[in-house]
Chain A
Amino acid sequence: MKVKVLSRNPDDYVRETKLDIQRVPRNYDPALHPFEVSREYTRALNATKLDRVFAKPFLASLDGHRDGVNCMAKHTKSLSTLLSGACDGEVKVWDLTKHECVRTLQAHEGFVRGIVVRYCGTSFFTVGDDKTIKQWKMEAPGYGEEEEPLNTVLGKTVFTGLDHHQNQAVFATCGQQVDIWDEQRSSPIRSFTWGVDSFSSVRFNPVETELLASCASDRSIVLYDMRESAPLKKVIMKMRSNTVCWNPMEAYYFTCSNEDYNLYTYDMRYLDRPLTVHMDHVSAVLDVDYSPTGREFVSASFDKTIRIFPKNAGHSREVYHTKRMQHVICTKWSADNKYILSGSDEMNIRLWKANASEKLGVLGPREREARNYNQKLREKFQHHPQIKRIARHRHLPKNIFHQSKELRIMKEARRRKESNVRKHSKPGAVPVVSEKEKHVLTVVK
């Protein structure tokens, strides 16, 4: 008679110390784990659903301005500090972790047109409709001290934009011309004009730090080199660009937000056609800012939404809106790639998550692993119709939804008409023009 007894050796399953990983015996024999595809499909479906369930991007609204927020600036050294300038000339400094305003100053009369923090983070510059450039200390004045700018420069014309050099004491303004200023001097060290009367935005290239790009009112985007006496090149588009932003990781790419509801990503070496046309907005795009990783950018639009685009995708991956948010004037992507800030007409600054369903805070190792696995699963099965349907679904306000539908119909009609014209005219008489080429008029050398 054979007696069978369960015998287990504790050495096989008891940890030596508490810090050891639990030993989990596994048998990877595929015969024991059948139906891997269908099981993973189910998991992917669940992950996608959960992703949508947890997608709550709106974090906080910072209120306190008494007029529309016209411009914002990230602090270069501190993640939790944000500066914003309003249409009544007021500048506020915010503490993002506490969601509160820490300092308010009346910087200008009229609009604050531009605001930028110096690369060292100790001071910031503002320009306003009162034709002045002011430099302010980052620290609040002590008790009893008056709020006074470090430096004030009175210009000849109104300034509409401002940007600071990445690592030199040089900044650039734009208005009737693009000026390069030394911080120590009261007159520009260089000014560029090219037959245009006004510029709306100027930006330094953060990688090749001597290059600049600006948007002009004659529908052109002009490139400059700080070291040269003349501008480099300009491209004239069908409609006016509002702002321009360089990719912080890829030296030669920049994106501009256009009045024709689109954004265009250009390679500065080949301006004759944009690299990508980013469509989805249903009204003029007012601002654009790249994520610090350079893989995505956020755009603010007059249609009361902000959208997130992958840098080489034609359509947005995310759209954020709230009932109370009006025309979004400016937007910024935080320097740790986690948050998005938007300033809008109705005097509020809103804080969003860059990744709608992401859990905030520190993740445990198992949590992280699960998140990575789910993400990969979603990616793997993203082409499956059911998963795609769930992952892509977004709620849109009614008017935006209808407007986008209308735009689609219009576009289709235009396309149909063109194809009809082509059909009924001599072959070759109506050439096929790609979407990318459609929006560029000329490149002026």
Chain B
Amino acid sequence: MAKVTLKKKKKVSKKEEKKSAEVKEESAEVVYDDDEEDEGSNEEEESEEEEEDEDERRRMKLLEAISSLGGQRKRRTLGERSEAAVHVTEFGVTAEGEGDKVQLKDLIGTVEKTPTVPSKTKRQLRTLQGGDKTIECPLSKQEHERIQRGVAFQKAASEVDQWKSIIQQNQRAEQLVFPLNREPSGPKPMERVVSGWKARTPLEEEIFAVLNANKQPILDPVLTPAEEASISAMSLEEAKIRRAELQKVRALQSYYEAKARRERKIKSKKYHRVQNKAKRKEFVKRFDDMVKTDPSGALEELEKMERARMQERMSLKHQNSGKWARSKAVMAKYDEGARRAMQQQLEVNKELTQKLVTAPNDEDEEEEEEQGGDAELLPDFVNDAERGADSSNPWMRGKLSEEKEAEEESERVDLTAEEEVKETEEEEVKETEEEGLLKEFERRRKQRQEQEVKMIPVEEEEEEEKESERVDLTAEDEEKEGEEEEEEGEEAGGEEEELSEFKNLYREITESERAEEKEEDPSPLLEESLARIRSLEDTEELLAQEEAAVAPPPPQTPAAEENSAPAVKKVEKPKKRKRGIELRDVLTKDTRAVHVPLTQTVEDGEEEEDEEADQRGLIKEAFAGDDVVSDFLRDKRNQEDAGKPKVVDLTLPGWGEWGGSGLAPSKKKRRRFRIKTAPPPPRKDQRLPSVIISEQRNSAIAPHQVSMLPFPFQTQAQFEGTIRTPLGRTWNTERTVKKVVMPKVVTTLGAIIEPMAKEELIKEKQQQQTTMTMAASQSAVEKQKKSEKKNSKTAKKKRR
């Protein structure tokens, strides 16, 4: 409390001091008013007003006295006082006592109350009162310039940024040809070439004056400016319209194509039949209409039909003589559908070739009879393939004539044999190329059945195959394990082929049963010799093995010996056999293996003095001494052995036990100190029988090899890939070489390369736009296609 009182006292004393100071100031000069007066002092002022008034009066008197004394000093006039205020300044208005500043509110307070002022202005004034923010002072010059620069830079940068796409495109381009905007080669219009030329003689001038007056082109291919202008004006819009039209047409075409494709793909015959029927109906209806409305058109239509009929009669169409028909004829026996198709064809034929009643002719009649007969016959033929006597099918005819007696029998047998061969045949039917073979196959089968030679069923055949494989394995065992594995792999892959190739093999074996072994077939001998050359190099060990392989003989050999006598019969065969052999080549191993036991006969073959065999013999003789393959194998084995880890024995005699002469380190110790190193990674040539790959670092090559992956490549494989692909024309076609070798930058000799022009930017933009529109239209088309697909799918479902 004491402190507070103290403070109060101090305040009071301060006030007193201030007062005295004020008094002094005021006594010095009246005119200037102090703005710094505290609000707190106002209250006291009021109480002391009277005192001040007195002072004022006194002071005025004093001043008057002084002025009267000097007379010189001019006194400033005070503004007229019109309102109640404590102080009056030289400006005439003071807000002293009421607040600091004069507010707008104070000035227009009366306006609110006066009814004559419209409400609109009042509202405006009210809003004016709200915004009493001060305007900030302007920026410094440096600041201002910096902002200006920033804006300008942004503008320039964005302008320059437009080039980005072009620059990137050029950086990525495979080839750049400079100068960029080359003028099209070829002759230029004369006018442009001689632009600098001027008419000099009076005659020339006259002519030019005339020409210029009419604005005629000087040379004929050049258009007048007016024409050019019109063309250029027209072209844009027209081009746009045309493009739109073209796009539409293209889209429509694609829809139509898609639809047609879809419809064509529908497999349902019923659907197509219905479709055809509908079409026919439509046509009939139209025709009827035409008869009524447009008789001439109907006549034309009739004529057309007539012409079609005539053409049909002339041609062999619908007579079941085409390729398709023949293939169907084969199928007809087993396939209901094929039969029906043929029937239909014939019906069409009949319909189209029906004789006109109007002009009966003898020849026509004959023809008709003939063809009618054919037509009647054919369905029968279709019903049973054996009897079909199609005149247009020579094959059928031939067959019938050959095997007339055997017909029925064979058919019977067929039925029994059918089941066995069915699967294979079904496959064959698909392969139109092998038709002929199939025929032959069938025929032979029948023959065989007639002769009542024992038939080898499929199972037995397969057994044979296996056997042959076994033989093969034994033969190759000594050779290389790796190869064997490979070939086995091949076999596994080839199993799919087996089915299609099966029939070849089958036929061949049936042949071989009867004929092959009677007389030595030249082509297998060839193969054999080839195989032998290989085996020759495989040294005599192999021969012994082969003999062993012969000992468990496949069924062929005894059969061959038995059938050696009746050899004459099959002399006419070699052609077909050759074909068979060619096909058999496809079968990789087993076929070869089948012939392994025949190696003994090689000598006989040579005795035949065959030219090629002689050659082989010569070669064999020449290289009799060098055993290349075994050398190679030995080399390889040595290399492999060298690479194998060696057992290191680190036992030291005497350590941990007694040592000396006659004392060997103990077994236990030796086991302990014998170190086996880990096996090295598998050799690269492990699976490659005829290759030795050395994995040692070759100091001769090392300096030529790249030690680190160079920059642009990500992986080692990538880099190796680029190195491995050759560029030269030894390995690539001319076109590829040109493409690969193309330089990155091409410049024209003696042409000035101008800097990139602004036109490029415009061009680029236009291109982008066009691509955008193209993409948009494409996507639209795709969408429509998709929707169509959906529709078709739903339609299919419904149909189901």
Contacts and interface: CB of A to CB of B under 8 A. Distances in A.
Interface of A: 2, 26, 28, 30, 33, 36-37, 39-41, 43, 76-77, 79, 166, 206-209, 211, 223, 225, 228-233, 248-252, 268-269, 292-295, 335-338, 362, 369, 372-373, 375-377, 380-381, 383-386, 445
A248 B742 CA distance: 24
Contact of A377 (B145, B152, B156, B727): B727
B727 A166 contact: no
A248 B756 contact: yes
Contacts of A39: 728, 730
Interface of B: 145-146, 148-150, 152-153, 155-157, 159-161, 163, 167, 170, 176, 178, 611, 703-707, 710, 719, 722-724, 726-733, 737-738, 740-743, 745, 747-758
B728 A40 contact: yes
Given A233-B149, A376-B740, A337 B753 contact: yes
Given A36-B726, A251-B167, A337-B178, A232 B156 contact: yes
Contact of A384 (B705, B724, B754): B705
Contacts of B743: 372, 375-376
A375 B740 CA distance: 11
Contacts of A36: 724, 726, 728, 730-731
Nearest to B148: A230
B167 A211 contact: no
B710 A383 contact: yes
Nearest to B738: A369
B161 A269 contact: yes
A250 B167 CA distance: 6
Given A249-B756, A373-B741, A383-B706, A33 B153 contact: no
Contacts of A375: 741, 743
B704 A336 contact: no
Nearest to B180: A249
Given A223-B153, A225-B156, A166 B731 contact: no
Contacts of A338: 747, 749
Contacts of A230: 145, 148-149, 152
A292 B755 contact: yes
Nearest to B720: A37
Contact of A208 (B160, B706, B733): B160
Contacts of B170: 249-250
Contacts of A337: 178, 745, 747, 753
Nearest to B751: A336
Contact of A250 (B150, B163, B705, B727): B163
Contact of B753 (A223, A293, A373, A384): A293
Given A37-B723, A293-B745, A336-B753, A445 B160 contact: no
Contacts of A248: 755-756
Contact of B749 (A40, A231, A336): A336
A36 B726 CA distance: 6
Given A28-B733, A383-B710, A251 B727 contact: no
A445 B146 contact: yes
A376 B145 CA distance: 54
A427 to B, nearest CB: 31
Given A293-B747, A295-B745, 6 more contacts: A231-B149, A249-B755, A251-B163, A337-B753, A375-B741, A445-B153
Contact of B752 (A251, A335, A376, A385): A335
Contact of B756 (A207, A231, A369): A207
B160 A376 contact: no
A158 B328 CA distance: 102
B154 to A, nearest CB: 9
Nearest to A248: B755
Contact of B723 (A30, A79, A166, A380): A380
Contacts of A373: 727-729, 737, 741
Q: Which of B176, B704, B732, B752 has the most CB of A within 10 A?
A: B752
Contacts of B148: 228-230
B149 A232 contact: yes
Nearest to A41: B704
Contacts of A231: 149
Contacts of A336: 747-753
A386 B156 contact: no
A20 to B, nearest CB: 14
Contacts of B146: 445
B167 A385 contact: no
B404 to A, nearest CB: 43
Nearest to B160: A252
A385 B707 contact: yes
Contacts of B176: 293
A268 B159 CA distance: 12
A336 B176 CA distance: 14
Given A269-B157, A336-B751, A383-B710, A252 B163 contact: yes
B149 A268 contact: no
B707 to A, nearest CB: 7
14 contacts: A36-B726, A37-B723, A37-B724, A79-B752, A166-B755, A209-B758, A211-B156, A250-B163, A251-B756, A269-B160, A292-B753, A337-B745, A369-B738, A380-B722
A37 B726 contact: yes
Nearest to A225: B156
B752 A77 contact: yes
Contacts of B155: 225
Contact of B731 (A30, A228, A294, A445): A30
Contacts of A269: 157, 160-161
Contact of A79 (B167, B611, B741, B750): B750
Given A230-B145, A292-B178, A373-B737, A43 B753 contact: no
Contacts of B704: 41, 384-386
Contacts of A26: 729
B247 to A, nearest CB: 35
A362 B748 CA distance: 10
A33 B738 CA distance: 19
A292 B180 CA distance: 11
A445 B147 CA distance: 8
B614 to A, nearest CB: 12
A231 B148 CA distance: 9
B160 A211 contact: yes
Q: Which of B733, B750, B753 has the most CB of A within 10 A?
A: B753
B157 A33 contact: no
Contacts of B707: 385
Nearest to A267: B160
B745 A233 contact: no
Given A28-B731, A250-B163, A338-B747, A2 B755 contact: no
A154 B758 CA distance: 34
Contacts of B153: 223, 232-233, 445
A33 B733 CA distance: 13
A127 to B, nearest CB: 23
B730 to A, nearest CB: 5
Contacts of B150: 445
A184 to B, nearest CB: 24
B451 to A, nearest CB: 37
A-B CB proximity, top 4 nearest: A206-B755, A292-B753, A248-B755, A383-B710
A206 B756 CA distance: 8
A376 B741 contact: yes
Contacts of A292: 178, 752-755
Contacts of A381: 723
A207 B745 CA distance: 20
Contacts of A252: 160-161, 163, 167
Given A337-B753, A362-B749, A386 B167 contact: no
A295 B167 CA distance: 11
A375 B741 CA distance: 8
B160 A268 contact: yes
A293 B156 CA distance: 24
Contacts of B740: 376
A191 B741 CA distance: 52
Q: Which of A41, A223, A292 has the most CB of B within 10 A?
A: A292
